[in-house]
Amino acid sequence: MNEHLEVANPVRTKAIMERYGLHTKKSLGQNFLTDLNVLKNIVSAAKITEQDNVIEIGPGIGALTEQLALNAKQVVALEIDDQLIQVLHEVLVDYHNVKIINQDVLQANLPEIIETQFDDPSRPIKVVANLPYYITTPILMQLLTSPVKWDSIVVMMQKEVAQRLAATPGNKSYGSLTLAVQYQMDTHIAFDVSRRVFIPAPNVDSAIVVLEPRSQAPAVLPFDERSMFRLIKGCFAHRRKSLYNNLQSVFGKTPEIRTQINAVLEQNDLSPQIRPERLSLDQFILLTNSCHTAGLLS
Ligand code: SAM
DSSP 8-state symbol, 118: S
With a 6 A CB cut-off, is 166 part of the ligand 1 pocket?
Answer: no
Same domain, 99 and 142: yes
Looking up residue 195, the CATH number of its domain turns out to be: 3.40.50.150
Same domain, 101 and 159: yes
- The reported pLDDT for the residue numbered 4 is 53
Domain count, the chain: 2
With a 6 A CB cut-off, is 198 part of the ligand 1 pocket?
Answer: no
CA of 233 to the centre of ligand 1 (A): 29
Mean pLDDT of 210-230: 96
Nearest residue by C-alpha to atom 21 in ligand 1: 80
Looking up residue 243, the CATH number of its domain turns out to be: 1.10.8.100
Q: Which amino acid is at 108?
A: A
- The reported pLDDT for the residue numbered 6 is 56
Q: Is the dihedral of CA 114, 120, 122, 126 positive or negative?
A: negative
What is the number of alpha carbons within 13 Å of residue 11 lying toward its C-beta? 2
The percent of residues above 90 in pLDDT, for the chain, comes to 94
Residue at 97 is within a domain: yes
With cut-offs at 50, 70 and 90, classify the pLDDT of residue 8: confident
Residue at 205 is within a domain: yes
Same domain, 59 and 199: yes
With cut-offs at 50, 70 and 90, classify the pLDDT of residue 31: very high
Mean pLDDT of 250-264: 96
> Is 3 a residue whose pLDDT tops 90?
no
> Is 15 a residue whose pLDDT tops 60?
yes
- The answer to whether 203 and 195 are in contact (CB under 8 A) is yes
pLDDT tens by residue, 107-150: 999 999 999 999 999 999 999 999 999 999 999 999 999 999 99
Which of 180, 213, 246 lies at the terminal end of a domain, its last residue?
Answer: 213
CA of 140 to the centre of ligand 1 (A): 14
Same domain, 208 and 261: no
Distance CA 102, CA 81 (A): 7
Classify 168 as helix, strand or coil: coil
With cut-offs at 50, 70 and 90, classify the pLDDT of residue 244: very high
CA of 129 to the centre of ligand 1 (A): 8
pLDDT tens by residue, 60-104: 999 999 999 999 999 999 999 999 999 999 999 999 999 999 999
- The answer to whether 113 and 55 are in contact (CB under 8 A) is yes
With a 6 A CB cut-off, is 31 part of the ligand 1 pocket?
Answer: yes
Q: Counting Cβ atoms within 10 Å, is residue 259 exposed (0-12), middle (13-18) or buried (19+)? A: exposed
Residue at 219 is within a domain: no
Distance CA 205, CA 195 (A): 5
- The answer to whether 224 and 183 are in contact (CB under 8 A) is no
Residue at 277 is within a domain: yes
**Mutation test of ligand 1: which of 12, 38, 79 has the most ligand atoms closer than 8 Å to its C-beta?**
79
Same domain, 89 and 113: yes
Residue count (the chain): 298
- The reported pLDDT for the residue numbered 298 is 87
- The reported pLDDT for the residue numbered 48 is 98
Separation in Å, CA 280 to CA 12, 16, 57, 182, 290:
47, 48, 31, 10, 15
Strands 206-213 and 152-158: antiparallel
Classify 97 as helix, strand or coil: coil
- The reported pLDDT for the residue numbered 2 is 46
Residue at 126 is within a domain: yes
With a 6 A CB cut-off, is 30 part of the ligand 1 pocket?
Answer: yes
- The reported pLDDT for the residue numbered 7 is 64
**Mutation test of ligand 1: which of 27, 30, 161 has the most ligand atoms closer than 8 Å to its C-beta?**
30
- The reported pLDDT for the residue numbered 178 is 98
Calculate the average pLDDT of the chain. 95
Which of 213, 239, 263 lies at the terminal end of a domain, its last residue?
Answer: 213
Which positions ≥6 away from 237 have C-beta within 8 Å? Answer: 246, 249, 250
Residue at 142 is within a domain: yes
Same domain, 157 and 41: yes
pLDDT tens by residue, 154-180: 999 999 999 999 999 999 999 999 999
**Mutation test of ligand 1: which of 23, 66, 81 has the most ligand atoms closer than 8 Å to its C-beta?**
81
pTM: 0.94
Distance CA 197, CA 202 (A): 9
Which of 188, 213, 238 lies at the terminal end of a domain, its last residue?
Answer: 213
> Is 37 a residue whose pLDDT tops 70?
yes
Distance CA 47, CA 54 (A): 11
Same domain, 83 and 159: yes
With a 6 A CB cut-off, is 28 part of the ligand 1 pocket?
Answer: yes
Strands 185-193 and 206-213: antiparallel
With a 6 A CB cut-off, is 34 part of the ligand 1 pocket?
Answer: no
Mean pLDDT of 259-288: 97
CA of 78 to the centre of ligand 1 (A): 8
Distance CA 175, CA 278 (A): 10
Residue at 129 is within a domain: yes
Question: Which residue range(s) make up the domain with 241?
Answer: 225-293
With a 6 A CB cut-off, is 106 part of the ligand 1 pocket?
Answer: yes
Separation in Å, CA 56 to CA 67, 140, 198, 260:
11, 13, 18, 48
Same domain, 90 and 152: yes
With a 6 A CB cut-off, is 53 part of the ligand 1 pocket?
Answer: no
With a 6 A CB cut-off, is 80 part of the ligand 1 pocket?
Answer: yes
Indicate which atom in ligand 1 lies nearest the CA of residue 104: 24
Q: What is the dihedral of CA 246, 247, 251, 253, to 10 degrees?
A: -80
Same domain, 256 and 132: no
Chain centre distance of CA 61? 21
Distance CA 246, CA 176 (A): 14
